[in-house]
């Protein structure tokens, strides 16, 4: 395992934040509301599907998606440093000059939100969801996926968890885990002390 990306102390325990070397691709491992389409023969190969722009323009492809009942379409750009950036709906220039789009069909919206009428509010909620999906995929492409390990003062492993696509969230969960483990260590110490006072020998954890 590589050296931690960040180490800190919390409640007497050591928390180590690591890059997740075995991160899962969120486009294949999870159910996603949006579908990412990359332009084949373009700069990069990304997303769930690849469509050729050799014989038709990105705008023509998007028009076909709209004919197939795509209700939300956002342009995507791939960064040379890794990751993705996301544009706004209706940005025709962004679609033409981008590396692909993420879209959601009317059928997907009805299924996801269990309704027959697709309102502007539903599209707004879906936009927030697909932005989160793009953020996760972008973190995966950059290698910015994290995990944590919690250790005691002797370096003994107490807890760990992996697969966080946001470092701040990983650290928040790690801190919660350290607080819980510190409470467990303190409870065991109190129990051992009480038993020792009664002359009962305990086995160290």
Q: Cβ(16)–Cβ(4) under 8 Å? A: yes
Query: 173 or 186: whose pLDDT is higher?
Result: 173
Distance CA 78, CA 61 (A): 18
Q: What does the mean pLDDT of the chain come to?
A: 89
CB contact at 8 A, 127 and 104: no
CA atoms lying within 13 Å on the CB side of residue 111 = 9
For the segment 45-96, what is each residue's pLDDT rounded down to a tens digit? 778 999 888 889 999 999 999 999 999 999 999 887 778 889 998 888 889 8
Q: Taking the model in full, what pTM does it have?
A: 0.82
C-alpha dihedral (192, 197, 203, 205), degrees to nearest 10 = 20
Comparing 146 with 3, the larger pLDDT belongs to: 146
Q: How far apart are CA 191 and CA 153, in angstroms?
A: 19
Q: What is the pLDDT of residue 123?
A: 94
Per-residue pLDDT, 13: 95
Mean pLDDT of 148-153: 94
């Amino acid at each position: 395992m590589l050296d931690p990306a960040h180490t800190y102390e919390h409640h007497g325990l050591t928390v180590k934040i690591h890059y997740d070397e075995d991160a899962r691709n969120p486009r294949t491992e999870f159910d996603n509301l949006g579908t990412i389409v990359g332009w084949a023969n373009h700069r990069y190969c990304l997303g769930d599907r690849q469509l050729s722009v050799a014989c038709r323009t990105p705008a023509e492809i998007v028009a076909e998606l709209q004919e197939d009942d795509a209700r939300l379409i956002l342009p995507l750009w791939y960064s040379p440093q890794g990751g993705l950036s996301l544009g706004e709906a209706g940005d025709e220039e962004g679609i033409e000059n981008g590396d692909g789009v993420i879209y959601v069909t009317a059928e997907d919206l009805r299924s996801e939100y269990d309704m027959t009428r697709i309102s502007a509010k539903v599209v707004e909620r879906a936009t927030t969801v697909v932005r989160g999906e793009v953020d996760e995929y972008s973190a995966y492409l950059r290698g910015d996926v994290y995990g944590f390990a919690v250790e005691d003062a002797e370096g003994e492993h107490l807890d760990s968890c992996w697969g966080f696509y946001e470092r701040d969230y990983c650290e928040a969960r790690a801190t919660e885990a350290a607080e819980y483990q510190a409470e467990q260590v303190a409870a065991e110490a109190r129990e051992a002390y009480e038993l020792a006072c009664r002359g009962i020998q305990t086995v160290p954890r």
